[in-house]
Amino acid sequence: MYLEIALELVVGFLTLLVVLKLLGKIQFSQITPFDFITGLVLGNIVGDAVFDHKIGSLEIIFSVVIWGLLIYIVEFLTQKSIWLRSIFEGQPTLLIKNGQILYKNLKKNHVDLNQLQQLLRKKGYFSIYEAEYVILERDGQISVAPKHDFGAPTKKDLNIPVKQVNLPFALIMDGKVIDDNLAQAGLDEEWLNKQLIQKNINSYKEIFYAEWQEGSGLNISKYN
């Protein structure tokens, strides 16, 4: 019995992993109400099937694949049709326009003033009247365009000279060198070892995390 449950769990886990990989990251990175329901059902299919002795591994695979296929079809159709996209994913809604609260839109989306205040505070705005525009996105989060007096100054506003933006590269994680990142950064292990020797570090195993960025150099966190 326990062996059968373990086998079904492994099969269900691997099948879910394959299906989620095929569906792509976007499916669950920005969860809309439809995505939430489909993800919930997908998990319940495996969870319920594991403890139903009448259902075997093949039935689990079949159910997950069919449900995953339905999700894939919906995602494909929403990419092709704006009308279907609005049905399955919803549409962004203005909650504040030109500094004025749109009561009807709040009511339509079941958002009360306390919820609106909370969402704004999470974005760093502690007064409703600091916002010129507030948009309720499809995933339930808000986007805020602040009024001029409350907007953060940009580097252009402050006349700060333009500088090249460089990505940081994690070179060592958990005591192991990340060879791909080292190559992408245009560096090699010989260079890395020289840097470590200068910092009196004799082994990668002493390092919990090391990151290199053009202009900032190599930053190291050792195991405490």
Give the pLDDT confidence of 41-53 residue by residue, as tens digits: 766 776 666 666 6
More confident residue, 124 or 14: 124
Q: Decide if 67 contacts 105 (C-beta within 8 A).
A: no
Residues shown for the chain: 224
Q: Is residue 139 part of a domain?
A: yes
Number of structural domains (the chain) is 3
For residue 156, is it within any domain? no
Residue 79, helix vs strand vs coil: helix
- Residue range(s) defining the domain that contains residue 192: 169-222
15 domain residue, yes or no: yes
> Does one domain contain both 14 and 83?
yes
Task: Read off the pLDDT band of 16 (50, 70, 90).
Answer: low
d(CA 207, CA 223) in angstroms, rounded, equals 6
- Are 97 and 133 in contact by the 8 Å Cβ rule? The answer is yes
- Answer with the one of 87, 105, 132 that is the final residue of a domain: 87
Whole-prediction pTM: 0.60
Q: Minimal CA–CA distance to 97: which of 135, 55, 50, 51?
A: 135
In three-state secondary structure terms, 168 is: coil
Domain identity same for 139 and 208: no
SS3 of the chain: helix, strand, coil, percent, to 5? 50, 15, 30
- Asked whether 93 and 104 are in contact (CB, 8 A), the reply is no
Residue 210 within a domain: yes
Mean pLDDT of the chain: 82
Q: Choose the final residue of a domain: 53, 87, 121.
A: 87
Q: Based on the fold, state whether residues 63 and 20 are members of the same structural domain.
A: yes
* Residue 111: CATH number of its domain: 3.30.240.20
122 and 190, same structural domain? no
